[in-house]
Amino acid sequence: MGIRILKFGKELNKMSLKNTLKKYRHKFCFVLFLILLEAGLSILFPLFIGYAIDDAINRNHQGAICLGLLGLAVLIIGVGRRVFDSRFYAKVYQSIGTSAISSIKNHVPSKKSARLGMIRELVEFLENALPELISNIIGLIGVIGIIATLNLNAFYGSLITTFVIFLIYWVSSTKTIKLNKSSNDEFEKQVDVISKNDEKELNLHLRAMMKWNIKLSDLEAINFSISWMVLIAFLVASIVISVDDGIVKYGALFSFIMYVFQYMENVVNLPLFYQNWLRLQEIRERLIES
């Protein structure tokens, strides 16, 4: 993913936007640091909850106090990052939008309006989806690592499950790209269609837009259903394995089950980011071609 982000930066340079990235590179690095710190601390919650349970059984409050301090730290870092992000990415959008639209000043207003909306999608991805993506990647790696320390059989199962789920989405990636292209082709006609004040043509345009959205939604529903069945099978197998392998402490067993749930949440979300990335790839190619 790091290589792709670097490529993304190089391709933005082709759009004469390298000055924007260069101007804000230190702030980008600061945002990335806060994301990594927040994600790293969040991984520790199930472990600290397990410690708190075991300490509470022994009438000790130390585990609960540590859990509270962990929650406070994550809160402060998370709120601070989001306050900073909203202001920072507003400047990024203004800078990139001005530069990109100026580069296609000879295009029709419909295309300019659509491209500005697409640029907004790119900036929203950086502001909202990218932090979640990084958190999910760190969370997935961290959780799988912790599961390995708790139960090796469950660890092997998690690796196999991850591979199967990503294979499901990879197989459908070509179709996803084609559907996104068709949707964006139709979207670029929107301003022209509206300006004609032709109710019939507008109805056909909106119907076409919804047709591609429905096709994308149906494809996602199929992929998600198959992935969820695989994850449920892994969950059931993990519980059986944990009992058979003799995890007896309440705190340890609770932490293990929570980490399995956290693994499921992370692994089921990552393919959604992959699909979003495919859409942004198609948008980026349009902007580069401008």
Whether the pLDDT of residue 252 is over 80: the answer is no
**15 contacts 103 by C-beta, under 8 angstroms:** yes
Report, as an integer, the average pLDDT of 269-284.
Answer: 73
249 is written with which tokens? 């402490």
Alpha carbon separation from 276 to 93, 220, 272, 286 (Å, rounded): 19, 11, 6, 16
pLDDT band at 160 (very low <50, low <70, confident <90, very high): very high
Answer for the pair 143, 234: CB distance below 8 angstroms, yes or no. no
Identify whether the C-beta of residue 287 lies closer than 8 Å to the C-beta of residue 100. yes
pLDDT at residue 254, as a whole number? 75
Q: What is the pLDDT of residues 33-67, one digit of tens each?
A: 888 888 888 888 877 887 787 777 777 888 888 88
Given this model, what pLDDT does residue 79 score?
Answer: 87
Q: Which helix (H) or strand (E) holds 125?
A: none
Position with higher pLDDT, 47 vs 6 = 47
What mean pLDDT is predicted for residues 170-194?
78
Interaxial angle between packed helices 152-171 and 250-289, expressed in degrees from 0 to 180 and rounded to the nearest 10:
20
- Give me the mean pLDDT over the 254-278 stretch: 79
* CA–CA separation, 39 and 77 (whole Å): 10
First CA to last CA distance, the chain: 26
Q: Are 84 and 31 in contact (CB under 8 A)?
A: yes
- pLDDT tops 70 at residue 6: no
Which structural domain range is residue 157 located in? 2-289
Which tens digit of pLDDT belongs to each residue from 84-136? 887 887 777 777 767 666 665 666 665 666 666 767 777 777 777 777 778 78
What pLDDT score was predicted for residue 12?
Answer: 42
Average per-residue pLDDT for the chain: 76
Which tops the pLDDT comparison, 22 or 160? 160
| Residue 1 token pair | 């993913």
Tally of structural domains, the chain? 1
Residue 155, number of CB atoms within 10 A of its CB: 16
Which CATH number characterizes residue 114's domain?
A: 1.20.1560.10
Tell me the whole-structure pTM to 2 decimals: 0.60
Burial class (CB in 10 A: 0-12, 13-18, 19+), 256: buried
